[in-house]
Amino acid sequence: MATIRQDLGIVKALVSGGADLSVGYLQDLNRCPLHLAVAYGMTPVAQYLLKAGSKVNLTDDHGCTPLYSASFVGNLQCVIELLSAGAEMMIANADGNTALEASSQLGYVAIVKEFIRHGVLRASPPGTSAWVAFTTLCAAARSGHPDVADVLIEAGVPPAQEGLLRMGPLSCAASSKKLEVARRILKASGVVDEKDSHGCTPLNRASQMIRPRLTAFLLASGANPSVRSAADNVYSCVAPPGCFLL
């Protein structure tokens, strides 16, 4: 509770008295003091807990580490402190999401850059980092964060990767009505008719979800309106007048 109240003096007194830094707070997903400090934006408390020997990779009841919690709330300073203390970047929570995915989905560009600077795209185990990086770009595209997409692509994340996911980055942007992200991904990849694991192209997805502006943009970019999905469907959507003038 002293952690939640931002009372560093009491925290220091409790730690000096032998308080267990690994004990979770049952009313808050069993999160340990370090979890709470970073989640509530209490950087001085988090810094002290790290120096006092708090375990940096403890998980709460949902499988989230302090690094995930800091990334989720956009606490850049705590992210920096945790990474400096050796926090593992590739630990996924119960939903399969990593701290990188959380920060990308929520548009925290500075945190994404910090992860890249610490080598998240080269992290182990083999194969995992490439997969997480690609799904992270999809998350940024789906949520509509073009600046995050730019950072990831510039760092080497492939903007197109056919057939690996239900939807690739361009399809995610197209189906979610994120025009600016779609523009940037297509500019980087040059692949407008990439098929996902269901055989659908971004145009299929945009038309299926009734996204007239995205449909018009993709058609103007050379998308083939005759491509059929694996279910042998051709989705069509009539764009309103002026949609090609984007």
Instruction: Reply yes or no on whether the pLDDT at 237 is more than 50.
Output: no
Give 45-70 pLDDT, tens digit per residue: 899 889 888 889 989 888 999 999 99
For residues 75-85, one letter each, b for 16 or more C-beta atoms within 10 angstroms of the residue's C-beta and e for the rest, the string is bbebbbbbbeb
> Is the distance from CB of 46 to CB of 65 less than 8 angstroms?
no
Predicted local distance difference test score (pLDDT) of residue 107: 96
Q: What is the mean pLDDT of residues 197-218?
A: 89
Q: Fold for 1-88, please state it.
A: 1.25.40
User: pLDDT band at 104, cuts 50/70/90?
Assistant: very high
Give 8-50 pLDDT, tens digit per residue: 555 554 455 444 455 555 455 677 888 888 988 889 889 988 9
Q: Which of 104-118, 154-168, 205-219 has the highest mean pLDDT?
A: 104-118
Instruction: Reply yes or no on whether the pLDDT at 215 is more than 50.
Output: yes
Number of H helices, E strands in the chain: 13, 0
Q: How far is CA 124 from the centre of its chain?
A: 18
Q: Which of 74-78, 89-93, 204-208 has the highest mean pLDDT?
A: 74-78
Question: What amino acid is encoded at 90 in this protein?
Answer: M
Distance (Å, whole) CA 59 – CA 81: 17
The residue extents of the domains of the chain are 1-88
Give 129-183 pLDDT, tens digit per residue: 666 777 889 989 999 999 999 999 999 888 886 545 678 899 999 988 899 999 9
Instruction: Reply yes or no on whether the pLDDT at 97 is more than 70.
Output: yes
Q: What is the mean pLDDT of residues 108-116?
A: 97
Q: Report residue 74 as tokens.
A: 């956009």
